[in-house]
Amino acid sequence: MSDYFAHPTAIIDEGCTIGAGTKIWHFSHIMPNCTLGEKCNIGQNVVISPDVVLGQNVKVQNNVSIYTGVICEDDVFLGPSMVFTNVINPRSAVNRKEQYAKTKVGKGVSIGANATIVCGHDIGEYAFIGAGAVVTKHVAPFALLVGNPARQIGWMSEFGHRLEFNPKGLAICPESLQEYALENGFVKRIK
């Protein structure tokens, strides 16, 4: 008996490692040699391609495609129908399986519904990608991005609140009361 749940319509290929407490829902396909951490939730109609790695407590909403080359660290949220790519210049008649680009999604990142992450662009921890955004470059930790192409419009706390920095470059999350500093164009948590 396994310590994870898979709906009877889900397909899990050989060589996968699936952590305790993970749930895999209707019509999802986990392809060979994937690693899913503990307490993940894989929604309906999700495709996770070979060799993808998901950390602990990753939430994958319905209709998401996660292609080879993607690594998601712990506590990542992938919104409904968002997608990762894995080749920069795909052509049906040209096999580019050896050119899959890597994409690392840092701890605590949230990616909104219908967003697209173009391969080869890492997303820093706790970044927040708005619904429908198309990410075409690396994303700094705690950055808030929206639009097509995605552009940064602010910063977010670990609890998902927009940070408002004072003239000294300090901000406080209204929910957690964690303190953040903005220095040289980057945000870090200080308390």
The reported pLDDT for the residue numbered 98 is 83
- Indicate the DSSP class of residue 99: G
Q: Distance between CA atoms of 128 and 110, rounded to whole angstroms? A: 5
Ordered domains of the chain (ranges, CATH): 1-156 (2.160.10.10), 163-191 (no CATH)
Task: Quote the pTM value.
Answer: 0.95
Which residue, chain included where needed, has tokens 């429908």? 132
The pLDDT tens digits of the residues spanning 58-95 come to 999 999 999 999 999 999 999 999 999 988 888 889 99
Contact 66, 115 (CB under 8 A): no
Q: For 74, phi and psi rounded to 5 degrees?
A: -60, 150
Counted residue by residue, the chain has a size of 191
The residues pairing with 162 across neighbouring beta strands, listed in sequence order, are: 156
